[in-house]
Structure 1
Amino acid sequence: MAIPSPPVGGTKRDRTKAALIAAFWDLVDEGGFAAASLEAVARRAGMTRGAIYSNFASRAELLLAAAAVRGLKIDRDFSQPGTLAEQLDRFAQGLVLALPNAPGTQRWHAELLLHIATEPALKAQVAQGFTALFEVMAAQLQAQHGDELAIPAASLALAIQALTMGLIYQAIISPDAVTPAAVFEAYAALARGAVRQVEG
């Protein structure tokens, strides 16, 4: 995936952030994550290290912002009306559209996971981001489905994310195995299991 050019529009801060992220990915593509030190990023972008700290609180924040640029774009909004089955079917549609790009993320994704596992500050920041994501998803699921859920909304949010990550990683390793039909069937099964069954 090509590194986006700094936007022509937007604020100066937006353009600076985009330039720093572009410089970060240039360095990662050339020498891996270890090559993208704050000093190296600043030099590549033609800026001072202070410019980085004016826009990103830490290297971890810069790394996560850069990963968001290249990561798969998957809409996790569950606030729209519909049954859980309908919502997860819409979600599956978005994932199916994104999955063909998953193999292209393999190299940098593996390095990112290694950094997350070995850098406590980065791991804590990633965990904090997921906590916030789960809270939003759980609130939306609870508001839409309430007492019909067979498991707590927070557990369902976690299950959706875990299934999604599993399918993405499997698509990286064996893309032919992760067919659209299999994706839709997996989320349909999750929807059936997460809703209380009415005894007839």
Structure 2
Amino acid sequence: MTGSPRTQPKGDKRARTRAALMTAARELIRERGYERTTLDAVARRAGMTSGAIYGNFKNREDLFVALAGTYWAPIKPVIREGSTFAEKMRALSEATVAAIPARQDAAFGRLTGMAHALTHEAIRTQVREVTAQSFASGAGWLRAVADEGGLPMPADLLVCVIHALTEGLLFQRFLTPDLVPDEAFHAAFAALAGAPPGE
């Protein structure tokens, strides 16, 4: 049973406001690109004042980075307890394949956001900070899930390789779906684990 908006907690209102602003920003970016998407336009599209923007985001860059975190969130595999490293890499490839529909829907925003960041130091700095945190977390996860045989390379490097591999496979799949079947993902992650593709 859900209550009316008046009876919902303030935290829910803030989350709804933030979500509406991000949805509006995402729509405008698709229509106009990052360069021509202003905070005023985002507020108007969401049916809010510019005060709502600044109550939720420090600036345009903060909003853009939040979009990336929401629509291109980390892929999280389901790991079976006691599984080998090869089985863990298989779970990661399966989770990546499962994420394809959501990633494909967000691909245009991801690519245009990356292009925008290349020419805007403030955004690139934020992207670097978020990526460094993500890589540190991923490297920690890799160290934790490594089995007795260890990792094929230091965890700090492996997380970079997995990230690049995942992004490259995904975007190539979006561009040429018939040339990048699911098995390409599974074979790539199996190779990282030093396992035959079928494992």
Which position in structure 2 is the counterpart of 1:37?
38
Q: Which string of whole-angstrom CA distances, capped at 9 and with x for unpartnered residues, describes residues 49-97 of structure 1?
A: 2221211122112112223443376216879653211111001011112
CA drift of 1:135 comes to 0.7
CA distance in 2, matches of 1:157, 1:145: 13
Q: Which string of whole-angstrom CA distances, capped at 9 and with x for unpartnered residues, describes residues 5-63 of structure 1?
A: xx999621101101111221232233222332111112222323222121112211211
RMSD: 2.7
Q: Which amino acid aligns with 1:158?
A: C
3-state SS of the aligned residue for 2:75?
coil
Quick check: which one's helix share is greater?
A: 1
User: Does the alignment pair 1:15 with 2:22?
Assistant: no
CA distance in 1, matches of 2:94, 2:10: 32
3-state SS of the aligned residue for 1:156?
helix
Asked if the contact 1:103/1:175 (under 8 Å) is kept, the reply is: no
Deviates more, 1:148-157 or 1:9-18: 9-18
Asked if the contact 1:76/1:137 (under 8 Å) is kept, the reply is: no
User: Does the alignment pair 1:167 with 2:169?
Assistant: yes
Aligned with 2:194 (options 162, 173, 192): 192
Which position in structure 2 is the counterpart of 1:134?
135
User: Does the alignment pair 1:153 with 2:155?
Assistant: yes
Q: Which amino acid aligns with 2:139?
A: A
* Gapped regions of structure 1 (runs ≥ 5): 1-6, 194-200
Asked if the contact 1:88/1:191 (under 8 Å) is kept, the reply is: yes
Deviates more, 1:146-155 or 1:10-19: 146-155
Which position in structure 1 is the counterpart of 2:178?
176
The share of aligned pairs that are identical, in percent, is: 36
* Gapped regions of structure 2 (runs ≥ 5): 1-7
Q: 1:140 to 1:110 in 2, by over 3 A?
A: closer
CA drift of 1:183 comes to 1.0
CA drift of 1:110 comes to 2.8
CA distance in 1, matches of 2:52, 2:83: 46
Q: Which amino acid aligns with 2:159?
A: A
CA distance in 1, matches of 2:162, 2:135: 10
User: Does the alignment pair 1:61 with 2:57?
Assistant: no
TM-score (norm 1): 0.81
Q: Which amino acid aligns with 1:14?
A: A
Deviates more, 1:126-135 or 1:34-43: 34-43
CA distance in 1, matches of 2:30, 2:159: 34
Which position in structure 2 is the counterpart of 1:49?
50
Q: Which amino acid aligns with 2:61?
A: A
